[in-house]
Amino acid sequence: MSKIRIVTEETGPIKTNCYLLYDEVKKEAALFDVGGEINQILSIIEREQLAVKYLFCTHMHFDHVLGLEDIRELFPEAKLVYNESEEAVLKSLGPFARMFGFKSKSIGKCDIFVKDEDTFNVGDIEIKAILSPGHTPGSICFYFDDYLISGDVLFNRGIGRTDLPGGDYDTLFQSVMGLYELPDETKVYPGHGPITYIGNEKLENPFISIDDI
C-alpha cells in the first residue's frame, strides 16, 4: 500500500510552486513544474533514495519550466510530460521570459504528450490527467487520491489569467467548473500561493463559484 508524500518548494522569479510527489514505500517519485532551483527537494530525493520517474508540466509558461534543463541532467531517465497543445506556448518561451526580464533555458524534447484522462503510476499512486485549457491551450491538472495539482488553472480564491497568448476566459470557466465536480474534500495544490480545497473554492472563489452555474 502506498504512503503518499507531497513536498512543496517555491522556485524561480515568480515564486512558482514545485511539487515532489512520492510513494514512501516504493520509493518512486515525480516532480511537477520545476520552475527553478529546488535544493530542498533534491535533498529529500537524495535522503530518501527516490527514483524520479516523471517530470510533469501543468503548462509551459517560462516560470514553470526554468529549472528543467538542470533537472533533466540530474535525472536522465525521468520522462518529461506535457500536453501537445503546449508546443505553441513553448515556441514563445524565450520572448515571454525576456518580457519579464529573464533568460529562458532549453528543456529538451518531450517524452510523453499527455492527453485527457491518461493515467500514470508512481509506486502505487495512480495519477490521472485532467485537460483544463483556458489559461493556456493545453493546461493539465493532475488528480490522485484526494489531491489535485492545479497549475495556473485554479488558485486559493483565484483563477488563472487569460490575457496572455492562448488564454480564453470562457474556456477556463468550463475547465474550472469541471474541477468543481471533484469531491469537496479534494486538496488543491496550485501553481502559486497556498493550498485550498475544492469545496471552499466552489463557495468562496470570487471569480468562479457554483453560483455562476
Using a 10 angstrom Cβ sphere, with 0-12 exposed, 13-18 middle and 19 or more buried, the burial of residue 33 is buried
Q: Which three cell numbers stand for residue 108?
A: 529538451
Grid look-up 497543445 returns 85
pLDDT at 101: 60
pLDDT 10s digits, 6-33: 999 999 888 999 999 999 999 999 999 9
pLDDT at 97: 60
The answer on pLDDT for 213 being more than 90 is: no
Domain 4-212, CATH homologous superfamily name and number: Ribonuclease Z/Hydroxyacylglutathione hydrolase-like (3.60.15.10)
The answer on pLDDT for 1 being more than 80 is: no
Q: How far is CA 171 from CA 93, 132, 176, in A?
A: 22, 8, 9
pLDDT 10s digits, 86-101: 998 888 766 666 666 6
Residues 100-126, mean pLDDT to the nearest whole number = 88
Residues 52-56, mean pLDDT to the nearest whole number = 98
Share above pLDDT 90 across residues of the chain, in percent, rounded to a whole number: 84
In this structure, the number of other CB atoms found within 10 A of the CB of residue 73 comes to 9
Q: Which three cell numbers stand for residue 204?
A: 468562496
Share above pLDDT 70 across residues of the chain, in percent, rounded to a whole number: 92
Taking Cα atoms as reference points, which of 18, 52, 21, 12 lies closest to residue 33? 18
- CB of 63 closer than 8 Å to CB of 99: no
pLDDT at 211: 83
Query: Are β-strands 154-155 and 147-151 bridged in parallel, bridged antiparallel, or unpaired?
Result: unpaired
pLDDT 10s digits, 168-183: 999 999 999 999 999 9
Grid look-up 488563472 returns 160
Output the average pLDDT for the chain: 93
